[in-house]
Amino acid sequence: MAEEKKAQSSGVWPKVKPFVNGGASGMLATCVIQPVDMIKVRIQLGQGSAGTVTRNMLKEEGVRAFYKGLSAGLLRQATYTTARLGSFKMLTNKAIEANDGKPLPLYQKALCGLTAGAIGACVGSPADLALIRMQADATLPAAQRRNYSNAFHALYRIVADEGVLALWKGAGPTVVRAMALNMGMLASYDQSVEFFKDNLGLGEAATVVGASTISGFFAAACSLPFDYVKTQIQKMQPDASGKYPYTGSLDCAMKTLKAGGPFKFYTGFPVYCVRIAPHVMMTWIFLNQIQKAEKKIGL
């Protein structure tokens, strides 16, 4: 029995398990959150408030409009969340080993979150680009719509029309945004779990809900300005002369700041926060349940 456990711990599964679990939990959470994410993108594209966007989508496009881009969203989770949660788990485990098994200070968790976010964003950037374009497509004039049928069709068309490197268009702001989000989300979650368990003595369910809510807020507050810039870069179209409205993320940030002030970056914050917090919460809840099921069957 001891030899069997040793073989399991030294095999491939323990190394890939954090990545598989992270991707699966993220994909399950996305299935629930997709409609709110769709509304958030429409708000950032200037179509009005959450109520106005929702009414217009139902009236003009029907219920299916809320799930447009779901395939790209799932592909994004299968790449981005698989990489970031798996990397974060591995990085924190290594850091704990180097720290003689003691809990990590907040700054080390933040560094692990920053690194995991960068890794995840590099892997998931093509799917993220496909998701943004599919969600924004209905807002464009009919002549400018790309009419992607699904995520893989979008990726194929992007490569065919714009080249392979176009898959990483906007990757710079995507990576920066992911680093900010994961620093806020992952570090605050781990820190909150320790506080709720050790200081307040809360149970597992209350700890997961409380820590997820806190990490969701910090993830939203840290990442929304970068998310706004990233969305503007990824959806921009050239004018009649072939010139794009922004030369890069910094140019977009400066023009946005000049035109609307710092609060322009927080356009759609309530909806964004409402979308991020439940997604974070459900991701951790699904992850917890997946880990329980694996433990029960001996994985």
pLDDT in tens, 221-240: 888 988 888 778 877 888 77
Report the residue count for the chain: 299
Angle, vertex CA 93, rays to CA 90 and CA 99, nearest 5: 145
Q: Residue 143: is its pLDDT beyond 80?
A: no
Which of the residue ranges 169-183, 188-202, 229-243, 271-285 has the most confident prediction, judged by mean pLDDT?
A: 188-202
Q: Residue 4: is its pLDDT beyond 60?
A: no
Helix axes 171-182, 249-260, angle to 10 degrees: 70
pLDDT of residue 9: 56
pLDDT of residue 23: 94
Q: Residue 3: is its pLDDT beyond 60?
A: no
Report phi then psi at 185, rounded to 5. -75, -55
Q: Residue 207: is its pLDDT beyond 80?
A: yes
**Residue predicted with more confidence, 265 or 276:** 265
Q: Residue 169: is its pLDDT beyond 90?
A: no
Angle, vertex CA 256, rays to CA 227 and CA 126, nearest 5: 30
139 band by pLDDT with thresholds 50, 70 and 90: confident
Which of 94-103, 164-173, 183-192 shows the lowest mean pLDDT across its residues?
164-173
pLDDT of residue 18: 92
pTM above 0.75, yes or no: no
pLDDT of residue 7: 46
Angle, vertex CA 227, rays to CA 80 and CA 109, nearest 5: 60
Predicted confidence (pLDDT) per residue in 73-123, tens digit: 788 899 999 999 999 999 999 999 998 888 889 999 999 999 999 999 999
Predicted confidence (pLDDT) per residue in 41-76, tens digit: 788 777 888 888 888 888 888 888 888 778 877 888
Task: Return all residues near 253 (Cβ < 8 A) that are at least 6 apart.
Answer: 225, 229, 265
Distance from CA of residue 27 to its chain's centroid? 11
1 band by pLDDT with thresholds 50, 70 and 90: very low
Which of 90-94, 111-115, 133-137, 194-198 shows the lowest mean pLDDT across its residues?
133-137
Handedness of CA 255, 260, 265, 268 (dihedral sign): negative
Task: Return all residues near 271 (Cβ < 8 A) that are at least 6 apart.
Answer: 36, 39, 40, 43, 50
**CB 113, CB 187: distance < 8 Å:** yes
Q: Residue 179: is its pLDDT beyond 50?
A: yes
3 state SS for 33-91: HHHHHHHHHHHHCCCCCHHHHHHHHHHHCCHHHHHCCHHHHHHHHHHHHHHHHHHHHHH
Ordered by start, the domain boundaries in the chain are 56-236+245-272, 273-298
Q: Residue 22: is its pLDDT beyond 90?
A: yes
- Name the one residue in this structure whose structure tokens are 């958030």: 40
**Residue predicted with more confidence, 294 or 278:** 294
Residue type, 89: K
CATH architecture of 56-236+245-272: Alpha/alpha barrel (1.50)
pLDDT of residue 131: 78
Q: Residue 6: is its pLDDT beyond 60?
A: no
**Residue predicted with more confidence, 236 or 181:** 181
